[in-house]
Amino acid sequence: MDDIVAESGKLLLLGNEAIARGCMEAGVSIAATYPGTPSSEVGGVLERVAQKVGMYFEYSTNEKVAMEVAGAAAATGLRAFVFMKHVGLNVASDAFVTLGYTGVRGGMVVMTADDPTAHSSQNEQDNRFYSKLALVPMLEPSTPKEAKDMLKMGFKISEELGSPVLYRTTTRVNHARAIIELEKIPEIEQRGRFQKDPQRFVCIPAHARLDRIAQLERWERAMEMAENSPLNFVEGEGEIGVITCGVSYTYVKEWLKGVQILKLGFTNPSPEKKIANFMKDKRFVIVIEELEPFLEDEVLRIAKGHNIGVPVYGKRTGHLPRAFEFNPDIIASLSELVSVEERKLPLDVEKIALPRRPPMLCAGCPHRGTFYAAKRAVGKKEVVYSIDIGCYTLGVQPPLTMGDFLLCMGSSIGAAGGFSKATDQKVMAFIGDSTFFHAGVPGLINAVFNDHRFVLVILDNRTTAMTGHQPHPGTGRKHGEWTSEAIKIEPLVKGLGVGYVKTVDPYDLKGTQAAMKEALEYDGVAVIIAEKPCPLALKKERRLTKGQYKVDQEKCNKCYTCVEKLSCPALFRVGDDVVIEETMCIGCGVCAQVCPKKAIEEVDQ
């Protein structure tokens, strides 16, 4: 039995698991996403349990589609949840902003999982500004427990207002663990009904103007709600005030002493009167929040508007940093302003040179062969490598150093087109299968349409590997009662009118290299599909047939071509010898093809 659907009890849950459980307890009927860390595990749980609890859950092709699916469901009166990583909201923002106009009938909560410090992202944008941009009320939980409770509140607020609610988490909430009390899972509503109201839901200009007025009225009501919300509360005593939200609250609560805290959970619209009242009799106020001075600027504005002369410290005064996530040590840096809990001194450790340990492509990862073959095919020519988002982004590290330009999901193809028009350089673009369906297809259509010239390599490992092996349109989906067929990439690409298309096996270096050479000669858009399942996914599904290679030390002349050019983590030097770590090697055989002395051989098992 799956513990997470239990009727009651306590579990030690990841924030994301608590959020998934919150969806069940809130009676969410429809949930949609495109996987993105730090939000991915929510989908992992829902994929597993949705059918059991009577929820519909889908992996959409991208976040915009997910937003549209959820938005439509909420318009029928059902509760809908859509979730994504912070940059996903950029993709979905088109639908999101206008949903702020139409509003919703059933509760709709939009989760943006922000990633301060960019642990696994291309930037660390602060998505709280989307709530201002779209005039959509926002909640910010501080802990996994709050994450579940606040999600349920979010649906209530959404329904009361008739507006979507933005629910903003950060990595340290999504990936923190805490003890979670399970509460009742209600019967989940299966079918909504869409009552037509074109004036509201068809946003032609004349209607949008009416929606705008309705939206501003909702905003007024939201302001009242924020004032009275139990999510915004005052704690402790003291003449120094701290205003805080999100995970920063946990650091303040444990390590700052003698302050009165105004903890905000309903952060936009900000509770103006509450903030003004809190500030009035303080000696000074410190605003403690990660990333942008979002609340701090609100506090400054409110102080000014209420003629409150209390000094406000925070990012604007240089007391707190604007980059990266906070931690207890950053709180300690406030000790000139306020007293901080006494701590033991860290050990006095002599600095010695330690080797770096960057993440890398797994042992036997098919992308390694693809990149190696591409490098060989390119040879001494100068080629611009336009890369995309997924495991293969790790190919940017030496020795493969495959990657010159990367912006966002799908950008490899559009940018390759740009480079091909702007320069005389040869261009190669790399994109994964899931990313191709997410945002690559329009770029490829554009390339055909506008006569761009580049080689596109689709790294088809039959899954969405980076975020934990979710399905996508190219894999099809089996989900209880319904299944969908996989959409094949080769005929799709041919159907778009691409003149050169070839599918290769990246474990076969010669064949892959030959196809790449041909593609580089081709005048136009050439597409190579390097198809081989991700071994990690196979392992999870217990479908991996593992082989084993070893180095014959007699034949090996210690040229180190294999370790230096291929960098499979199962392959390394011990003294002068090259050895293969048997627990890691999966037997892909790529290293054997690279070895000039044929010293790497398959072991019979």
Partner 1 sequence: MKYNIQMVGVGGQGVLLASMVIGETAMRKGMDVTMSEVHGMAQRGGSVTSTIRMGDNVISPLIPKGGADLLLAFEPIEAYRSLEYANKDTYIVANTHPIIPITVSMGADEYPDLEYIIEKMRSASSKVIPVNATEIAIEFGGAIATNSVLIGAVAAVKGFPLYVEELKESLLYRVPKKFRDMNERAFQGGYQAAMEIMDQF
Between 330 and 579, whose beta carbon lies closer to ligand SF4?
579
Between 195 and 339, whose beta carbon lies closer to partner 1?
339
Triad 527, 388, 488: Cα angle to 5°: 45
3-state SS of 375-403?
HHHHCCCCEEEECCCCHHHHHHCCCCCCC
- For residue 213, the partner it binds in partner 1, ligand SF4, none, with Cβ less than 5 to 8 A by kind, is none
Q: DSSP characters for 486-519? A: PPPHHHHHHHTT-SEEEEE-TT-HHHHHHHHHHH
Between 208 and 579, whose beta carbon lies closer to ligand SF4?
579
Cα gap 311→425, rounded to integer Å: 56
Binding ligand SF4 (rule: CB under 6 A), the pick from 100, 106, 164, 364 is 364
Question: For residue 270, which of 284, 256, 289, 247 has the smallest C-alpha distance?
Answer: 289
Residues that bind partner 1 in the complex, under the rule CB under 8 A: 10, 12, 14, 37-38, 119-120, 143, 172, 175-179, 247, 250-251, 253-255, 327-329, 331-332, 343-350, 352-362, 391, 394, 398-399, 560, 563-564, 567, 569, 571-573, 583
Binding ligand SF4 (rule: CB under 6 A), the pick from 136, 578, 591, 599 is 591
Question: Is residue 274 within 8 Å of residue 227, measured between CB atoms?
Answer: yes
Q: How far is CA 410 from the centre of its chain?
A: 14
Q: φ and ψ at 293, to 5 degrees?
A: -75, 65
**Least spacing, CB of residue 583 vs ligand SF4, in Å:** 11
- For residue 257, the partner it binds in partner 1, ligand SF4, none, with Cβ less than 5 to 8 A by kind, is none
Specify the pairing of strand 426-432 against strand 454-460: parallel
Peptide bond just before 205 cis, omega within 30 deg: no
Q: Is 530 in the site for ligand SF4 (CB under 6 A)?
A: no
Give the range of 113-121, 190-198, 370-378, 530-538 binding ligand SF4 by CB under 6 A.
530-538
Binding ligand SF4 (rule: CB under 6 A), the pick from 361, 427, 501, 515 is 361
Size of interface with ligand SF4, in residues (CB under 6 A): 24
Between 105 and 469, whose beta carbon lies closer to ligand SF4?
469
Question: For residue 414, which of 383, 381, 388, 375 has the smallest C-alpha distance?
Answer: 388
- For residue 253, the partner it binds in ligand SF4, partner 1, none, with Cβ less than 5 to 8 A by kind, is partner 1
Give the range of 83-91, 260-268, 361-369, 510-518 binding ligand SF4 by CB under 6 A.
361-369
Question: Is residue 120 within 8 Å of residue 325, measured between CB atoms?
Answer: no
- For residue 62, the partner it binds in ligand SF4, partner 1, none, with Cβ less than 5 to 8 A by kind, is none
**Least spacing, CB of residue 147 vs partner 1, in Å:** 12
Question: Is residue 53 within 8 Å of residue 23, measured between CB atoms?
Answer: no
Which stretches of the chain bind ligand SF4, using CB under 6 A? 361-365, 367, 391, 461, 465, 534-536, 549, 568, 570-571, 580, 585-591
